[in-house]
Amino acid sequence: MNKAMQKFLCDQLDPNPQLWEKRIYKATDCGAWIKLEENAITFGSIVEGSNYDVTPVQVAWPFTREEFWDALELVERAANRIWLETHGCDECAERWGWVDEYGFVLEGCDGITPVHPDCTTCYGQGVVI
Ligand SMILES: [Zn+2]
């Protein structure tokens, strides 16, 4: 990694480079990861319980403080969207009217049920699968 970028990360995250990954993980609800290259940084996230990963977002040096945090925010928002599309509970599935050909309500918590905003079980937050 180039020296200027290293200094930037020391200022933004922590003087100790060994704590950078942890800082990014903790700074995001989605537990984002960071990958460092000579002249670029890539952020990404794995959404547990779904079959989708967030498309990684890369910023190339030189970037501004704003561009750095905006890239991380993009990953956070994408992870949140995937979570809401896939982490519905049983009540969510019922509220969506998901029934099989015999009229039985299909179960949620399967990684494909979207979260229903009016759900009184998960309160529109989804569940850990
Ligand atoms: Zn629910």
Give 14 Cα–ligand 1 centroid separation in angstroms: 38
Give 113 Cα–ligand 1 centroid separation in angstroms: 9
Distance CA 54, CA 78 (A): 6
Q: Which residues pair with 60 in a beta bridge?
A: 40
Average pLDDT over residues 11-30: 96
Whole-prediction pTM value? 0.87
Give 74 Cα–ligand 1 centroid separation in angstroms: 25
Query: What pLDDT, in 10s, does the model give residues 47-97?
Result: 888 878 899 999 999 999 999 999 999 999 999 999 999 999 999 999 999
Distance CA 114, CA 108 (A): 8
Give 7 Cα–ligand 1 centroid separation in angstroms: 44
What angle, 0 to 180 degrees and rounded to 10, lies between the N-to-C axes of helices 65-86 and 3-12?
Answer: 60
Asked whether residue 19 carries a pLDDT value surpassing 90, the answer given is yes
Quote the radius of gyration of the chain (alpha carbons, Å): 19
Six token digits for residue 101: 């050909």
Give 54 Cα–ligand 1 centroid separation in angstroms: 22
Give 29 Cα–ligand 1 centroid separation in angstroms: 19
Give 30 Cα–ligand 1 centroid separation in angstroms: 19
Asked whether residue 41 carries a pLDDT value surpassing 90, the answer given is yes
Give 37 Cα–ligand 1 centroid separation in angstroms: 40
Strand duo 33-36 + 57-60: pairing: unpaired
